[in-house]
Each structure stands twice: as C-alpha cells, then as structure tokens.
Structure 1
Amino acid sequence: MISVVILGAGNVATHLYKAFKASDNVVIKQWYNRHLERIRSYSNEVDISDDISQLVEADVYIIAVSDDAIAPLSEQLPFENRFVVHTSGSVSAYDLDKKNRRGVFYPLQTFSKAAKVDFSQVPICLETLRKTDYMPLKRLAICISDITKRVNSDQRAALHLAAVFVNNFTNQLYRVAHEITESQGAEFDLLKPLILETAQKVQDHSPFMSQTGPAKRKDKKTIKKHLKLLDNAQHKEIYKLLTASIQHTHGR
C-alpha cells in the first residue's frame, strides 16, 4: 500500500484523486488546498485541509498546482527529506525545494473536471533526482496506469511542447472549423467522423504517411478557392501558414 497526500485542487489534482481513490493499492492520507471550499465536497471521503502546517506523513506528496505556484508551495512544506513530486510537463524537478527528495509524476493527457478519464490509458512520465526514488514512484504510477515511462527533463519538455501541438493547437483548429461551418449554417457535427478517423489513422501510421489534402497535392485551384471563401483574416493566415508547412514537409 502506498500513501499519498495531494496538494492542489485543479483539474489534474481532481482526476488524480479519483484515480487513486479507485485503486486498492493507494491510500490518500490527505488532500490539501489553500481554499478549502474547492475540496469541501470530498470531506466525507478523505481528510481535507487548508493548513499547510498540519500536513500528515505520507510516502509521496503530489503537488498538482499551476506551474508558477509549484516552487513557492514546495518551499512552504513544513518538513524535510520526504518525497515530493509535481505533475507539470514543463517545470524542472529542480524547481522543487531541495530540502526534500524530488521528482516528477507527469500524466500526459488533457484534463477537464467534467470529462471522465480512463487513467489506465493515460501515460505517466516519471522522473526522479535520486535513483532510489524511481521504483517507489513507478509502483505508485502502475497502481493507476498501464502506461508508465521513465523520461529525462529534455524528453519531458519535448513531450509537453508536442502535446501543445496535438492537443491545444488542434483544438483551436476545431474552433476555427466550427466558426467556418457556423458562418454558412452548416453542421459542425458532420465533421466529427472525420476528426475521429484522422486521430485513429495515426495510431497505425506515421503523421507523414497519413497526410492528405490540397496542400500535399499542390492543388492550387482548390487552395485559391478556399482562401477566397475565408472572410476572417486570421483564419486566412492560419490556412496559408499550414498549407506552406505541409508543402515544405512534402517537398512541394
């Protein structure tokens, strides 16, 4: 049995709480947040606290807060030589206060509080500054996920950057597509099978091999028609930029 204390009450913290709660091999000793109202609804399930001086002892302390708050919160911890990790993809493990043993427990997924997540399919990227801390952290990870990976800081930073492209930027493109369809009274829902097929295709083939469309074909007539249809100047620039990128990638 591995004991944990969760610090923070955002999307990642909430999903981690639910995943740990569902595991037979993890006991959540305490859930801390500086604003108790954010976690009060869980008070019948777990010990909650807004007093950092009263943190209980646990095997692992998981800081799941915004990137800028990680270092200050780790400095406030009222103990030394315990195992403290954060969940960020872009913050160094060295940003945690050196009075404690340090590591990273990075779930590589997008989290929204309202959306259910199957944590067994969420890759958890692990990093520790001490070699002896890695196996305890891995044991915690495999309690909730079937996919764990040891990464170094550079690899984690690259994964986080790539995640912005495949998730945040892609979602913004969905928003652009939604605006385009709305402008003509077309149904965005008709694009959803295409969205799913595009995502499914890269499960079996590389993004390079999966690329299709007028940019790859260098279909100037269609590209020109599309640009003419776009009234929004920003959408037009996005179209031009991505078209140029695809043509550069595929030697067009």
Structure 2
Amino acid sequence: MIKVIILGAGNVAFHLTTNLLKNTEVKLLQVYNRNIEKIQYLKNQTSITDKLTELKNADIYIIAISDDAISNFSSKLKLKNKLVVHTSGGTAMNELQSNSNKGVFYLVQSFSKERKVDFSKIPICIEAETDTDFKLLKKLAKSISNNIYPVNSNQRKSLHIAAVFVNNFVNHLYYIGHQICEEDKISFEILKPLILETANKITYLKPINAQTGPAMRNDMKTIEKHKTKLTSNQQEIYTLLTKSITKTYGEKL
C-alpha cells in the first residue's frame, strides 16, 4: 500500500484528499496545512498538522498549493531520499527546492470544491527523476485514474497553456455571453444545449473541422451588426477572435 501525505488545502488538495481517503490501494497518512482550521474537518479521518516538523514517514509527499509558492515552500522540507511531487501544470519539476527526490503529479482538470469530479476519467501527467520513482507515481496514478500520461516539464508547460485556452478563456467567454443575455433579459439556459454540442463535437471532429459562424464565412455584414451591440471591451475581444478565425480559414478582414 502506498503511503501518501498531502501538503495543502486548496481545490486540488481537497479533491485529492477526498479521493485518497476512499482509495483501497493508498493510505493517506496525513494532511498538512499552515492554517489548521481549514483541515479540521479531516481530524476524524486522518492525521492533520500545521507543522512541517511533524510530517510522518511516507512514500510520496504531494505539494498541492499555488504555483508561485511551490519553490519557497519546498525549500523548507527536510525529506532526504523521499519522493516529493507537486501538482502544478505550469511549474517545472526542477523548481522543487527540497533535498528530496523530485516528481510531478499533474491532474488535468478544473477543480471547484462545490462540484464532484469523476477521477477515473481525469488525465494524470507524471514525471520523475528516476525510473523507480516514475513507477511509484504511475502506480499511484493508476489507483486513481484510467488515463495516465508520461509528460516532461517542457511538454507540461505547453499542455498547461493549451488548458488555459480551452478552459479558462472559454469560461470567460461564457461569462461575456451571460452578460449579453442578461442585458436584454434573455435566459442563458437557451445557450446551454449549444455549449454542450460544441464541446461534444470535438470528441469526434478536430476543432479546425468543427468551426462554424460568421467569422469562418467572412460574413462582414453580420460581424459589423454584432459589434454595434457590444461594449468596447467586448468589441475588442470579438474583433481579436474574429481576426484569428478568418486568418485560420484563409480570409482577411
């Protein structure tokens, strides 16, 4: 059985903790967070602590904190000959500053504490310095998910950028669409089947073959009508995306 300690209490740490507590192949020995109050809910399920000096002896220590804190936080760990990994998509493995063995355990998913996720479908990208540590991370990953990928730091950086485009930016566009609907008292529910169809379509088509709309058709009349309804900020985003689409499909504005 793999012994694991989670360091952190954010969204990723919360969901990973919830999963590992039910995992029959893993023993979640302990959860650390500098604010003990945030992990008090776990005190009857596993050991909790707010002191790095009280960390137990585990096989894998998973740092699940904000990206910009990983380097400094890891430098405080005294875990020689232990495997310490982080869960960041945008942070290189060598940014871990502990005197330990290093690795990465990146779950490619958007996490919110209020929403449950099916871990068996989440892609997990792993990286380690040694073959032995890689095999250990792979064993842990397989106990959680059916989708495991070996991805190095450079590849993961590109993957994280791609994830920002397909997740964070797309969600911001949902927000703008919601704003536009609210301005004219239109229910955003009307757009949800369209949103789902657009997402489902790329499960069997390449995105470049799934594109539709006035920008692809270079329908300038419709494009200009749309702009008259938009705020200056919305117009800027609309124009930028329209130019990118028309350029992709060989047309010019």
Q: Which amino acid is the alignment partner of residue 81 of structure 1?
A: N
Counterparts of 1:61 and 1:85 in 2: how far apart (Å)?
6
Let me know the Cα RMSD of the aligned residues. 0.8
Q: What is the TM-score when the length of structure 2 is the normalising length?
A: 0.98
Deviation track 1:3-53 (CA, whole Å, cap 9, x = no partner) reads: 100000000000100111121101100000010000001111110000110
**SS of alignment partner, residue 27 of structure 2:** strand
* Distance (whole Å) between structure 1 residues aligned to residue 27 and residue 98 of structure 2: 26
Look up the match of 1:65. 65
Task: Name 2:29's counterpart in structure 1.
Answer: 29
Deviation of 1:95 after TM superposition, in Å, equals 1.1
1:98 is displaced (CA, Å) by 4.8
SS at match of 2:91: coil
* Deviation readout 1:151-209 (Å, 9 max, x if unpaired): 11111000100000001000000000001000101111110000000000011100000
Where structure 2 has 5 or more consecutive residues not aligned to the other structure, the ranges are none
- What residue number does 1:236 align with? 235
Which residue pairs with 1:143 in the alignment?
A: 143
Q: 1:73 offset after TM fit, Å?
A: 1.6
Structure 2 contact 79–98 (Cα < 8 Å) conserved:
no
Offset at 1:78? 2.7
User: More deviation in 204-213 or 95-104?
Assistant: 95-104
Give the corresponding residue for 1:102.
102
2:39 paired residue number: 39
- Give the distance between the partners of 2:23 and 2:204, measured in 1 at CA: 31
- Partner AA of 1:48 in structure 2: I
Deviation at 1:132, TM superposition (A): 2.1
- Which residue identity lines up with residue 212 of structure 1 in the other structure? T
The equivalences for 1:166-185 within 5 A come to 166-185=166-185
Q: Secondary structure at the match of 1:14?
A: helix
Question: Is residue 77–residue 99 contact of structure 2 (8 Å, CA) maintained in 1?
Answer: no
Identify the residue that residue 201 of structure 2 maps to in structure 1. 201
CA deviation string 1:34-78 (max 9, x = no partner): 100000011111100001101000110000001111112211113
Instruction: Flag as ranges the 4+ runs of structure 1 deviating above 4 A.
Output: none
1:87 corresponds to 2:107: no
> Partners of 2:99 and 2:223 in 1: how far apart?
58
Superposed CA deviations along residues 72-119 of structure 1, whole A, max 9, x for unmatched, are 221111331100000000111111125100000000000011110111
2:137 partner amino acid: L
- Equivalent residue, structure 1, for 2:245: 246
Deviation at 1:239, TM superposition (A): 0.7
Alignment check: 8 A CA contact 2:77 2:98 kept: no
Deviation of residue 129 (structure 1)? 1.5
Shift of 1:229: 1.7
Check whether the contact 2:5–2:60 (CA below 8 A) recurs between aligned residues.
yes
Partners of 2:162 and 2:79 in 1: CA distance: 36
Structure 2 CA distance for aligned equivalents of residues 96 and 235 of structure 1: 40
Distance 1:239 1:97 in 2: 43
SS of the residue corresponding to residue 124 of structure 1 reads: strand
- What is the letter of the counterpart of residue 183 of structure 2? S
Match of 1:11 in 2: 11
Cα shift readout 1:211-233 (whole Å, capped 9, x = no counterpart): 00000011111111111121x10
Q: Corresponding residue for 1:112?
A: 112
Q: Give the match's secondary structure for 2:57.
A: coil
Number of equivalences:
251
Moved more, 129-138 or 177-186: 129-138
Q: Is residue 215 of structure 1 aligned with residue 215 of structure 2?
A: yes
